[in-house]
Structure 1
């Protein structure tokens, strides 16, 4: 009997080429995009319900998040013209192309809305710009999950059903947490509710990622990515519970819970990113799922023939 091979390379070369995206540029871009997108939605809700302090903070968070995220993305690309080149073509089947076309107008609209909120100039124009940013916000907060899942990296690709929900929940948690830190508790009710809803979504989706994927779940549970993901889940659960239960009565609790949720959101993005890199380095996560799918197809074909 010939023992089953355990490949670690393909003719001396890695089976899967690792992503060239850099740390911390790309994980920070993932975090800032989620924060900005969710903050734009929170700002519009605050405007509709007459909470001016919450609206101002959320609009500034959306504009600053989009601006800093764009800087991180361009720094990873090395040359600004590479980002502009992505806008030359709109390709609906490419998450990267769609995301570029979402980021560009969102950054403009959220920046204009933030400037109006801070200076008080052109309030009507700022309000319209804020509404436009809010319309694009959910797409900005979630497209990066689809972007990672659209690669061949096993830990990202196999989690294609969950990553958009993880990123949506993480973005909402960060936006709500930041608002709880900076806004008086009396006006921060929508922020607390967004934080709690985002925490529930993120925890549920992250739980599926760490258990549904079988072997490919290991990078999310081991090493540095595992520590980041576990710490993020604990901080999200504690911060979300504290903000919802006691955040209205105590400014201190609101600030601490919000800071914990923002930190958890950062850790989630770094954990997901580093788990993907770890899965690309280990050939087991490339070969074993392929073998499992092949066995399943053979068993299905045999069952069909038996009928």
Structure 2
């Protein structure tokens, strides 16, 4: 089928030019190659398309019929290519994104909103989940996750660092003596995030050696948003993203525990299929997020 389509296109070009040489020059082929393709097409169809002489050719009735169909075919292909070029000049399509649930409460939402406003022909389909999804098997174009720092890869890009803190409801913390050192954390209840590898965490402060803490929780949830909701309900303290706490801290409902100590920041990174086009909407989307500095903290 592919060979026949090519031969029909060459046939139509030869007729439009009136000579094999004119078509050959246009197609950058030898005249003998043009003649060969048309002869092969005639052999496959079992009809004569062109009556040849040494100087010119004329169409047979079958050739006239095929030329009409060839022009319709060429017009359709040209229109499709023009439409595609127009689409490429203005990015369009569906972009399927999966992201950690906690990021639904972050500035990621605003940046995606701004991205959509700049590119109205791109449809974003978002799934927020703390269950790690597989890009290819689950049909996603981009995955935005939070995790420990790791080496970069051609299909992975760190977007920013996600700062974490220890938070507790003011009503819960009021039951205890003020927490001034990591040792004062002993005896407090913790709410844990399921699936976190290793419970040991390190607190650091300038001029002091790191202090390892080992949270143990009565409540474990598989959602960072659920963990923080338990914190707000005074179920205990938890390690949570800082951006989740900002509004409640400003109202006095939640307190940052040991605010002068730091937990190791995590990477917020984007991943995408390794064979994604470098000029496609996936690359456009990731590059746009990378330009949005301080996404979480702004």
> TM-score, normalization: structure 2?
0.20
Structure of higher CA gyration radius: 2
Select the structure that is richer in helix: 1
> TM-score, normalization: structure 1?
0.19
Select the structure that is richer in strand: 2
